[in-house]
Every structure is written in C-alpha cells, then in structure tokens.
C-alpha cells in the first residue's frame, strides 16, 4: 500500500517507454502502476484515477508507483547528525512496516521501542543520483565524529558468523546447495 501511494516521476524515453506504458495501463490501483502523467506537450497533469487508456509520448513524465531498487531517504527525528538521514534501496514487501537491517540502526539511534521513521522519495533523477552518491548507507559506515565504524554486524549476525565458521562445523551437500542458491549471481 505504501509503494502504491508514493510515486517517482520518471521521464519517458525510447528505452523505457514500453515499461512505463505498462505501468500506465495498470493504472492507479494496480501495482506496479502509476498515479498520474504530466504531458510534455502542454504541461497538463492527467490523473490515472479517471483515465486508464492514455498512450504516453516521449518526454511525458509518469508518476509511477515506488518499485524495487528505487532509492529513498530515511530520517529519524531528531536529526542530530548527518547519519540520521541515510539513503536506502527499496525492496517492496507486504504489510505497512518499514524494515531495516539491524546493522544500520545504530546511526539512527533506533532502539526498537516504537521509534518513528520518515521516508522521503526523491522527486527528480538528479536528487536520486545525489542520494546514491552522498547519503547511501555504504558511504556512512565511518562516523565523522570519532573516525570509527558506526555500521557493523550486531547480535544474530555475529553469532551466526561464529557458528557458521566454527572448526568442527560441517555442512551436507544439500545445505551448501541451499546456501549457494540464495546468492543472486549463482542463480544465473
């Protein structure tokens, strides 16, 4: 539901026209769809809540639903330092909850007692690129105040790594196969 409500304005080009036409055809209420179109010809905004058979043209701007691998900015109030705002890549999942890896919660000072987080979607390609280059989690690992890592493995990740690499830990062929198939580059 959150991904359907939030949109990213994508400019129609010859390379993405078919994909964006599919989102326009899906319309307002079907994921992955789009909410509106800004026509290049006259700047008029067309709501897909009303019209769902619009044929997009190169140069139109489609306000499509948020999709996997879009970049967003997360923020936890109060923002005490620059790492209170970091960029993350989206993975659309069911339910109405934002989920983060435990290892990136330290910069947000999140302690899992009902902390409120805000998510902001960039509204231009330039802003999305800036977030990727300046605010992505990978660029925030070292804290500028103490010059030491603030993002690191915690809790179950450390225990899992220890148990997995113990000297007397042996895996069956089936267990190794199951682990390898979970790596995206191995599937192809």
pLDDT in tens, 110-126: 777 777 888 999 999 99
Helix segments in 27-155, DSSP class H: 125-130
Distance CA 168, CA 2 (A): 46
Tokens, residue 60: 């139109």
Name which of 62, 18, 72, 14 is nearest 38 in CA terms. 62
* Confidence (pTM): 0.79
Write down the pLDDT at residue 68: 93
The one-character DSSP state at 171 is -
Distance CA 176, CA 163 (A): 15
Tokens, residue 158: 């450390």
Write down the pLDDT at residue 39: 92
Give me the residues of the chain with pLDDT under 70, please. 186-188
């Amino acid at each position: 539901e959150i991904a359907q409500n939030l949109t990213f304005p994508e400019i129609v080009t010859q390379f993405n026209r078919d994909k964006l036409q599919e989102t326009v055809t899906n319309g307002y209420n079907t994921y992955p769809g789009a909410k509106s179109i800004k026509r290049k010809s006259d700047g008029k905004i067309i709501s897909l809540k009303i019209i769902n058979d619009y044929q997009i043209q190169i140069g139109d701007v489609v306000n499509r639903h948020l999709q996997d691998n879009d970049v967003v900015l997360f923020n936890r109030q109060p923002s005490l330092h620059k790492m209170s705002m970091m960029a993350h890549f989206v993975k659309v999942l069911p339910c109405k909850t934002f989920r983060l890896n435990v290892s990136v919660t330290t910069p947000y000072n999140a302690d899992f007692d009902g902390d409120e987080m805000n998510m902001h979607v960039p509204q231009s390609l330039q802003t999305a690129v800036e977030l990727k280059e300046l605010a992505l989690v990978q660029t925030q690992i070292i804290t500028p105040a103490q010059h030491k890592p603030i993002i690191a493995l915690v809790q179950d990740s450390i225990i899992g790594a220890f148990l997995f690499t113990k000297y007397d830990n042996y895996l069956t062929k089936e267990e190794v196969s199951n682990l390898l198939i979970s790596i995206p580059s191995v599937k192809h």
